[in-house]
Structure 1
Amino acid sequence: MIGIVRYGAGNIFSLTCALDRLGIAYGMVHTETDLEQFDRYIIPGVGHAGAAMNKLEQTGLVPVIKALQKPTLGICVGMQLMTAYSEEGDANLLHIFPNKTLRFKSSPDYKVPHTGWNRVHQTQENPLFAGIPNDAHFYFVHSYYIEYNNAYTLASTNYSLPYSASIWYNNFYGVQFHPEKSGIYGETLLANFSKI
């Protein structure tokens, strides 16, 4: 069963609706004790990375999350929180991945935030993307991106520059896009995560 980490920085309605549609059992994680009843976790997030990290720190869950051994998926800001640092709020984050989270530079051709559908190119084979075509479209809404690093990039996309659309290290996974808003391939990804 999936435990969704509740720390006050994630709109989880669309995520729980997607899990309900897929028949995937889930519950909420508010405290360290709650973690014990789940076999995998999702860290959602929307909005400001620095503020989200501050809220996560207030839960007391930061050291516990960093030490998790079970599959853990960060979505959008939840993925950014797994990096070392974000320009948004000049914030030090969980540092599960050494990558930085940087702000897009706006231009006439590339508006910020990056909003809408974009192709995601798989750079490694991984069960998270099983059954999903390479270069499938996923839905993005973000002003900050994870700098590309071959060692941790599971899938990439391009919006004014190439960046990590999905990252992976041991039991930790992250996706910058919103699988719960990405149609059949997004639901496939969530179903895959529930079986990893």
Structure 2
Amino acid sequence: MGKNVTIIDYGLGNLRSVMRGIEAAGASATITGNAEEIAAADGIVLPGVGAFHEGMDQLGSLKGTVCAATREVPLLGICLGMQMLMDSSEEHGMHQGLGLIPGRVRRFPHVPGVKVPHMGWNTIRLDKGNNPLVSGLAPEEYVYFVHSYYADTTPEYTLTTTEYIVPFASSIVRDNVYGVQFHPEKSGAIGLKLLRNFIDLV
């Protein structure tokens, strides 16, 4: 276990399950909310479960540390952590995100008979199959989702697309910054493969 991935602890997220996923994928993992440790990380995971504005508030003074770190090392945002990478979110009013990937987080539109949140297994379709994060994945794979809001961004930053009420970016990328709306740590062999691919970037 030569590689160490730093998981940011800002009070929201399934930190232990993400840690187990990283370890199962072949790296060691450190959970920390310490800015110096995050700044010195070889690779960073930003997990998250909950509301967008709560996530940004809880991240607080670590925002600058996270943004600066992505200039040097890869970062993977998971679920809410992915949404926080975006410019803004309309969840509970307009709120600013980290601005690392252009776009806005929007709520799924209401459709009679269709449940929100989007919960359970669904397909991701590769838009950028040559990206190292999705190396070795089939053109379509099943992964596990739990979310009521989705990332609205352009094809330039869309790594995979999923259909639920509307087509949406289920994973995104810009330079060293990656985000997945689904939970790789709950997505079986495919999620493990994706985490291994991320570790290979570290």
Cα separation, 2, equivalents of 1:23 and 1:129: 17
Structure 2 match to 1:29:
32
The answer for the alignment partner of 1:123 in structure 2 is 127
Structure 1 residue 10 corresponds to structure 2 residue 13: yes
Q: CA deviation at 1:38?
A: 2.3
Determine the structure 1 residue equivalent to 2:155.
150
Runs of 4 or more off by more than 3 Å in structure 1?
none
- CA distance in 2 between counterparts of 1:191 and 1:22 reads 5
Counterpart of 1:160 in structure 2 is 165
Provide TM-score, normalisation by structure 1: 0.95
Return the TM-score normalized by structure 2.
0.92
Question: How far apart in 2 are the matches of 1:67 and 1:91?
Answer: 21
Superposition pairs of residues 184-195 of structure 1, within 5 angstroms: 184-195=189-200
Q: Aligned partners of 1:122 and 1:53: how far apart in 2?
A: 29
Q: Distance in 1 between matches of 2:79 and 2:56?
A: 13
Q: Which residue of 1 aligns with 2:65?
A: 64
Name 1:86's counterpart in structure 2. Answer: 89
Equivalent pair of 1:110/1:159 in contact (CA under 8 Å): no
| TM-fit CA distance, 1:28 | 1.9
In structure 1, what residue type is equivalent to 2:89? S
Structure 1 window deviating more from structure 2 (146-155 vs 22-31): it is: 22-31
- The letter for the 2-side match of 1:123 is D
Query: Structure 1 unaligned runs (5+)?
Result: none
Other structure's SS at 2:102 match:
coil
Does structure 1 retain, via aligned residues, the 8 Å contact 2:144–2:182? Answer: yes
Indicate the RMSD between aligned Cα atoms, in angstroms.
1.2
Aligned pairs, number: 194
Indicate yes or no: 2:118 matched with 1:114: yes
Partners of 1:148 and 1:118 in 2: CA distance:
20
Shift of 1:36: 4.4
**Structure 2, unaligned runs of 5 or more:** none
Supply the AA of the counterpart residue of 1:64: T
Mapped to 1, the partners of 2:113 and 2:106 lie a distance apart of 19
Q: Is the 8 A contact 2:25 2:193 kept in 1?
A: no
SS class of match (1:137)? strand
Secondary structure of residue in 1 paired with 2:53: helix
Distance change in 2, residues 1:93/1:180 (3 Å): same
Would you tell me which structure has more strand in proportion to its own residues? 2
Retained in 1: the 8 A contact 2:26–2:196? no
Same amino acid, percent of matched pairs: 39
